[in-house]
């Protein structure tokens, strides 16, 4: 629907709402938020090195918190002493102005991926870390899942490392209904078993493969209550999690396997979604996709207790109705039993992918990602990858889209709708002409507000 028609519909709706009822009660004016799709402000942050923003949330004071990682020691990172990746948390006000930023890590590679503001006003952060010094106290080998708890001003309250001698990554964290925490990612099960790990999510432990979905439940103080893994012989990785209405958890990601916990593989790589109960026992699992490579990156819960999962697809068969080009943004809606309700794809002739999805106030969805296309669903491309933002209705129909970029590689990783009806989008840019502002270094954190 065009902007003119939207405005006419709102005016007619407001006039109808102002009609007195049969009992003579005075009409109540209706205030509607109109999304214009116009860029209101843009901010970038960084130093001469590499920065990335992986996640953004609204904060209780009306501002925003952005989490990513940085290896710079100058510019906005002046005071950071070691040129390796640290978690980087930025606190912004409602206009995107930096209130404070802090880094967390040690002398090795530590990369923040997800955050949540907790009930006490502080923050819990997760990602993966190699350090056992600085802010980190323990590392079990290569990357570990690293969870840190902060107060409202970003002061470190506690940190915990979870992992074994292999590569173990955490990508998402939520505060649970009981006030604890749950984070998801993947476990290098071969290394874990060599280290004596004997837990299993469903049945007896079996040597699966190079990666497993791994979910860990913590109490509010970071003490582990339980952890379970799920997967098959090959590479299976969970990128996101939500808590279901019944207190369980729904993990989404991708699977390369066709055995053990995976019962209905579609092809090379599939979207794979797992539901577990509040004790971590497997309730159901399902694969979605076609014969090509299908990778899921995010999940959100819908108003009708279903779930929407997004990522990208190279397929054009089985669950995937069509494909515009090399890869499309792929969006699926499933119910609470894992049944596929509908699927949508968006893209052009080149590579297009989704990294994040969130629910909007009207029941639709906000999708963040990147695009190299210049045709079909994609209106423009400034060069290489552009950040790509999509707004859909509740049935997954595209109602608005826009790209943002420059001559380099630009990626959108997360977005959400603000209380004012706008959208906050975060990611990274390597362009020297991204929306006409200069880049600090190799890549910068970028934050956009679209009203």
Q: What is the pLDDT of residue 164?
A: 85
Query: What residues contact residue 186 under an 8 Å CB cut-off, 6+ apart?
Result: 168, 169, 211, 212, 213, 214, 236, 237, 238, 253
> Token pair 């007619």 is at which residue?
12
Under 8 Å between Cβ of 94 and 419: no
Concatenate the DSSP letters of all residues of 227-249 into one string. EEEE--SSBEEEEEEEE-TTS-E
pLDDT(15) > 50: no
Phi, psi of 295 (to 5 degrees): -120, 125
Domain architecture of the chain: domains with CATH: 1-32 (no CATH), 36-450 (2.130.10.10)
Mean pLDDT of the chain: 90
Q: Please name which of 311, 435, 310 lies closest in space to residue 365, comparing C-alpha atoms.
A: 310
- pLDDT range class, residue 436, cuts 50, 70, 90: confident
Under 8 Å between Cβ of 400 and 347: no
Going 373 to 375 to 376 to 382, the CA torsion angle's sign is positive
Give the Cα separation of 129 and 109 in Å (integer): 6
Under 8 Å between Cβ of 200 and 176: no
Under 8 Å between Cβ of 400 and 390: yes
- The stretch 332-342 carries a mean pLDDT of 98
Q: What is the pLDDT of residue 188?
A: 79
> Token pair 């209130």 is at which residue?
99
C-alpha distances in angstroms, 41 versus 355, 427, 448?
Answer: 22, 15, 6
Tens digit of each residue's pLDDT (9 = 90 or more) over 140-189:
989 999 999 999 999 999 999 998 888 899 999 999 999 999 999 998 77
Tens digit of each residue's pLDDT (9 = 90 or more) over 231-278:
999 999 999 999 999 999 999 999 999 999 999 999 999 999 999 999
Give the Cα separation of 108 and 113 in Å (integer): 16
Q: What is the pLDDT of residue 91?
A: 98
Tens digit of each residue's pLDDT (9 = 90 or more) over 70-99:
999 999 999 999 999 999 999 999 999 999
Query: What residues contact residue 204 under an 8 Å CB cut-off, 6+ apart?
Result: none
Residue 293's CB: how many other CB atoms inside 10 A?
A: 17
Q: What is the pLDDT of residue 334?
A: 98
Q: Please name which of 284, 283, 287 lies closest in space to residue 258, comparing C-alpha atoms.
A: 287
Side-chain half-sphere of 278: how many Cα atoms within 13 Å? 9
User: Counting every residue, how long is the chain?
Assistant: 451
């Amino acid at each position: 629907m065009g902007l003119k028609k939207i405005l006419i519909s709102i005016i007619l709706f407001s006039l109808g709402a102002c009609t007195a009822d049969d009992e003579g009660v005075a009409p109540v004016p209706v205030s509607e938020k109109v999304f214009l799709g116009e860029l209101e402000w843009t901010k970038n942050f960084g130093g001469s090195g590499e920065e990335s923003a992986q996640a953004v949330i609204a904060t209780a004071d009306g501002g925003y918190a952005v989490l990513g990682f940085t290896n710079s020691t100058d510019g906005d990172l002046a005071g950071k002493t070691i040129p390796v990746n640290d978690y980087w948390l930025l606190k912004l006000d409602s206009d995107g102005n930096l209130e404070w930023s802090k880094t967390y890590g040690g002398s090795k590679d530590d990369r923040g991926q997800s955050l949540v503001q907790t009930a006490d006003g502080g923050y819990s952060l997760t990602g993966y870390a190699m350090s056992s010094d600085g802010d980190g106290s323990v590392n079990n080998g290569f990357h570990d899942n690293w969870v840190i708890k902060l107060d409202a001003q970003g002061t470190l309250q506690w940190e915990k490392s979870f992992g074994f001698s292999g590569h173990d990554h955490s990508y998402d964290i939520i505060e649970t209904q009981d006030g604890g925490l749950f984070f998801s990612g993947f476990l290098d099960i071969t290394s874990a078993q060599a280290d004596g790990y004997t837990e299993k999510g469903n049945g007896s432990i079996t040597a699966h493969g190079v990666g497993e979905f791994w979910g860990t439940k913590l109490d509010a103080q970071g003490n582990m209550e339980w952890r379970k893994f799920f997967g098959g012989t090959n590479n299976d990785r969970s990128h996101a999690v939500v808590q279901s209405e019944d207190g369980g958890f729904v993990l989404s990601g991708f699977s390369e396997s066709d055995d053990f916990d995976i019962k209905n593989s579609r092809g090379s790589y599939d979207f794979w979604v797992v539901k577990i109960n509040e004790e971590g026992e497997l309730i159901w699992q399902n694969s979605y996709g076609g014969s090509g490579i299908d990778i899921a990156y995010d999940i959100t819960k819908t108003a009708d207790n279903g779930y929407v999962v997004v990522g990208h697809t190279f397929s054009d068969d089985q669950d995937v109705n069509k494909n515009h080009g090399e890869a499309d943004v792929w969006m699926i809606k499933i119910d609470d039993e894992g049944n596929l309700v509908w699927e949508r794809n968006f893209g052009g002739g080149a590579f297009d992918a989704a990294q994040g999805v969130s629910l909007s106030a009207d029941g639709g969805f906000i999708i963040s990602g990147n695009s190299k296309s210049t045709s079909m669903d994609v209106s423009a491309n400034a060069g290489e990858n552009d950040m790509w933002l999509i707004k859909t209705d509740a049935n997954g129909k595209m109602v608005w889209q826009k790209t943002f970029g420059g001559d380099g590689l630009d990626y959108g990783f997360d977005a959400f709708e603000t209380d004012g009806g706008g959208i906050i989008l975060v990611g990274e840019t390597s362009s020297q002409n991204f929306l006409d502002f200069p880049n600090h270094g190799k890549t910068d954190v970028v934050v956009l507000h679209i009203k």
